[in-house]
Every structure is written in structure tokens, then in C-alpha cells.
Structure 1
Amino acid sequence: MTRPFRFGVVAPLTTDLPTWLARVRRIADSGYSTLLMPDVPQWQPAPGPTLATAAALTDLRVGTWVYASPLRPAWMTAWEAHSLSVLTDGRFEMGIATGRPGIEDELRRLGLPAVPPSERLAQVRETVTALRDLDGPDRHTPVAMAVSGPKARALAVDVADTVTFALHDVPRAEVARLARDSRAVRDLELALHVPVVGDTVAPFMAHPATDPAALHAMDSLAVLPDDPAAAAEEIQRRREEIGFSYFVFGADVADAFAPVVAELAGH
């Protein structure tokens, strides 16, 4: 099954509020599907109230990209996600994963237990299970999972609606194989997190030390050309050859890629 294209923007609130609100309106007016917030304590306002503000301002879908499972008890994350789904009338998508590389140091700074990856993955399952219980039979909050290892991929196939592969430094052919293997089990939506456009690394979407030249050299799927026409052609190629239909960019390229979204969204 070929899914229609949709596009999301990771747009943390890092400016004054009026500037951010104006950006949110432009993103909505440009035809993007989803406004997304990272989960980075103390760098920005918390995802929940920020996303609720964006959803009240526009008709955008909103989502976390992504909750880090060890930062909160599973029931608390599920409760917030369910609440956002209710308050946005079904326009919320819960993105979740086990946390960025180095999250153990962040957990210690926050006074939280630095649990191993296996426990963090169990927290993801527990969170999704609690969310489904809160949603009940009449609501289904979409779940997106960012995955890398085989256990996380297996969990995503079991419980998620959307999967994105946190494998920026892995060559295209290997990510393509993993994507096809996942969709062979179940018809998941495949999302592509694109932190590098041209030679620019989007804030909050990759480590600041990310080397765009190295990613270009290995033909990484984490990169798109900065020319909108070339980007549109490559996006279509990635859906045709691999199955990616949901593309997520940083806010700094949202205006420049508006023509891409106008051409492809919904098709």
C-alpha cells in the first residue's frame, strides 16, 4: 500500500513567544501535517502545554518527537498523551523512544535512576499499554516510535502506528532493508527524520557534532538536498523505493521547503 505524503516540523520554542506563534501559523498555512516538540527538559517549555497552545492556534496535528521514556513514570506520560488527544479532539500523536545517546548523564543530573536500555524499552511498552487503557475502545491515540536496535524494532512492529529509524550514520541500503522488513510484518507508516538539509544540521534533531559531509559521503537517509526541487525528487524516490511517506524536518527549513509540501502533501 502506498501511503500519501505528509510532513512534520520539529519546532521547539526557542525564541520569544510572538515569534514562535507566528512560525506556527506559517507552518500551518504551508500545508504541513504536524507540529512536533522534542522532549529536552530545561531547554524549552514542556511539550504538553506547548503543543496544546499550538493546537488551539491552528488546525495542525501535534506530537512529541519524542518522549524519552525514563524521564517520567509510564502512567504519567500516558495520562498526558491521552489528555492531549482529548483536548485536541484527536489531533495528538505520541512519539516515544528510550532517549537520546547520553541520556544516562541527564537522568543523573535530574536525580532520576539511570536505568539500562532494556528497562527503558520496557517503559515504552508500559506507556503504550497504559495509553491504550486510558483511550478505551472509542479512541486511538497514534503512537510513533523512534527505534534503532532489533528489540526496539520488534516492539514498534507490535505496538506502534508509525516508526522512524534513529540510524543517521547507517548507509541507505541498510536502513532500507530494516524498513522493508518492518513493513513486511505489518503495514506501519514509515517516517523519515531528516536532521540535515544541505550542509545545515537542524537544532534539536541531531547531535551538534554531526558531520554533514560524512553523511553525504555514505548516502545517509538523514540528509536531503537544500534545493526544493531536488528535495522533492529525492522524497518521491524514497517512498517509491523504500516506503517512507512521512518526512520530518527542522523548523529552520520549513519556509524554504513549503513548495515541496505544497507539491507533495496528500499525494
Structure 2
Amino acid sequence: MTDSTATGGTRPFRFGVVAPLRTDLPTWRDQVRRLADSGYSTLLMPDVPRWQPAPGPTLAVAATLTDLRVGTWVYASPLRPAWSTAWEAHSLSVLTGGRFELGIGTGRPGIEDELRELGLPAVPPGERLAQVREAVTTLRDLDGPDAHTPVVMAVRGPRAQALAAELADTVAFALMPGEDRGEITQVVRGFRATRDVELAQHVAVIGDTVAPFMASPDTDPAALHAVDSLAALPADPAAAAEEIQRRREEIGFSYFVFGAGHADVLAPVVAELAGR
């Protein structure tokens, strides 16, 4: 017996790719077009200052190249004022004809050090969560009654989950390396009992490689596979497709996000499962 129909029924699969601009512009443009041709639904940008162009302008350019949806994966709430995040998100929705998704969370582990380096206040987690609420609330005001920018929230603890249950359209659960699969399954099922929303999976490891921007460089792929971690998938497309379907049936995940370096390897999986 599976859990996928516990609330609103089985959601169709969709697949996103974190594809920052790390090459020359023509090569990146070709990559974006190839992602669209392969059946991916969403092109995503990380929020890592100084490592690549800023997410907003880059996504606006990407949206002119294909009909892909575009989004942030994810904005760190303390890096900019909440009103600025909301204004940028609403603007991207307008400029892309409604194809923008605001991904937002309280920041990566260790973001306090990054904030200090940037001369920004290292606010505590509770205050960062309040910034998320303010950004989404302001975005809803800017959208008005005739528009709705989808919000993807990255969550972990009970307070973040409660806020996501209130505000988010899609929820991604932050995983720690080697985290017990059974415990995460119970956490996600408990969340689904409160509200039926799309559930996303951030998968940083495919086979024996780790996607840049999606996990720590010292991540051990072999260790993750050894404990059947949700943070990893096999590189073999048939095995990956089977595991992805297992995760939807047993837990409810239907939106899977990979790194750009893994997109070609997983293209057969996307061709088989997207929209099903």
C-alpha cells in the first residue's frame, strides 16, 4: 500500500535544473535550449553572491530563450530586504508572462559567516523565517487579485514547515548528508497531513558525482548510496526512473531538481516520466 493518494491524489512528475551561468554566454544559452528540448520544466538559479551573475537578470535572459519556467533555488531571505525580494519576484513574473517561481528559504548552513563577509547582520533563524513571511506576504500584495506567483519554500524544522503549510505552493525539505530515510519519510507524511502541496526533492548526487551549488564539495556519494539517502540517485537512467517513482509512491515527491551537469545523463528519465 502506498501513500501517494493520501490527500489530493498523485501529482504528475516535473523536473528542474539548477543551471547557473558558469561558462561563456553562448555556451550557456545552448545549454538552456537543450534543457527545454529534453523536457525539463524549470530552469533554476542559486543565490550565491559573487560566484555567478545575480539570479534575477540571469533568469530574465533565460526566459527569452525558451518557454521553460524559471525560478530561484533558492533566495536566501537575509541577503536582501524582504520588499526587494518581493518586488524582484513580482517583476520577474510580469516579465516572463507568469513563468517565474519564487524559491525562498532562510539560507544555507553557515550563511552567518557569508552575511558577515558581506557586511550584513547575521540574524538568527527565527528572524530569517520572519523575513520569508514578509517577502511572500508583500509578493501577494504586489501580485494583486489577478496574479499568483508560485512560491517554493525550502524548509526543515517545525516552524518553517508551519509557515510553508500556510504560504507555499511547493515545499522542498532540506536534507542533511546521510539522514535516515525512514525519519524523513515520516516527517514528510506528517506535513502532507496538514496540507496538500507539491513536494520537491533537491537531488545533488547522481551516481558518483556531486552537483556544484547543490551540496558541499566534501559530500561522499558512496556514503549516501550506502545508506539509501534521498539526497542521491543512481546514474543508470532505468534505476533512477524506478527510484523516482518509488519516492512518489512512498513519500509523495513529484518535483525533482538536479544539477546542470547531470541533466544529459537524466534526460531519458525526464523523457519517460515528465507529465506522468
Tell me whether the two structures share a fold, i.e. TM-score over 0.5.
yes
Deviation digits for residues 1-33 of structure 1 (CA, Å, limit 9, x no counterpart)? 100000000001111111111100000000100
TM superposition outliers: structure 1 runs of 4+ over 3 Å: none
SS in 2 for 1:13: coil
Distance 2:187 2:166 in 1: 15
For residues 160 and 258 of structure 2, the distance between their equivalents in structure 1, rounded to whole angstroms, comes to: 23
Task: State the secondary structure of the residue aligned to 1:185.
Answer: coil
For 2:24, the aligned partner's letter is D
CA offset at residue 217 of structure 1?
A: 2.1
Q: Deviations over 1:192-220 (max 9, x none)?
A: 00000011110000011111122122211
Choose the corresponding residue for 1:172, options 181, 202, 218: 181
The amino acid across from 2:166 in the alignment is D
Residue by residue, what CA displacement relative to the aligned partner does 1:129-162 show, whole Å, maximum 9, x if unpaired?
0000000111110000111111111111111011
Match of residue 42 from structure 2? 34
- Measure the CA separation in 1 of the matches of 2:176 and 2:229: 7
SS in 2 for 1:255: helix
CA distance in 1 between counterparts of 2:111 and 2:156 reads 15
In structure 1, how many angstroms separate the alpha carbons of the residues matched to 2:61 and 2:188?
Answer: 34
- Relative to the length of structure 2, the TM-score reads 0.95
1:44 aligns with 2:52: yes
* Cα shift readout 1:204-250 (whole Å, capped 9, x = no counterpart): 00011111122122211000000011000110111111110000000
Q: Residue 217 of structure 1 corresponds to which residue in structure 2?
A: 226
Q: 1:159 pairs with 154, 157, 167, which one?
A: 167
Q: Which of 213-222 and 27-36 deviates more?
A: 213-222
The percent of aligned pairs where both chains have the same amino acid is 80
Q: Match for residue 239 of structure 2?
A: 230
Tell me, in whole angstroms, the C-alpha distance in 2 between the residues paired with 1:263 and 1:131: 35
Question: TM-score, normalising length from structure 1?
Answer: 0.99
CA distance in 2, matches of 1:260, 1:211: 24
Alignment of 1:89-128 (within 5 A): 89-128=97-136
Distance in 2 between residues matched to 1:204 and 1:253, nearest whole Å: 13
Which residue, 188, 200, 214 being the options, matches 2:197? 188
Question: Quick check: 177-186 or 222-231, which moved more?
Answer: 177-186
Is the deviation greater in 161-170 or in 185-194? Answer: 161-170
Measure how far apart 1:44 and its partner are: 0.2
Q: Give the CA deviation at 1:168.
A: 3.2
Q: What is the number of residues matched between the two proteins? A: 267
Indicate conservation of the 8 Å contact 1:145/1:164, yes or no: yes
Distance 2:224 2:160 in 1: 24
Which residue matches 2:255? 246
Q: In 2, distance between residues paired with 1:191 and 1:178?
A: 14
Q: Aligned-pair RMSD on alpha carbons? A: 0.7
Match of 2:209 among 193, 200, 208: 200
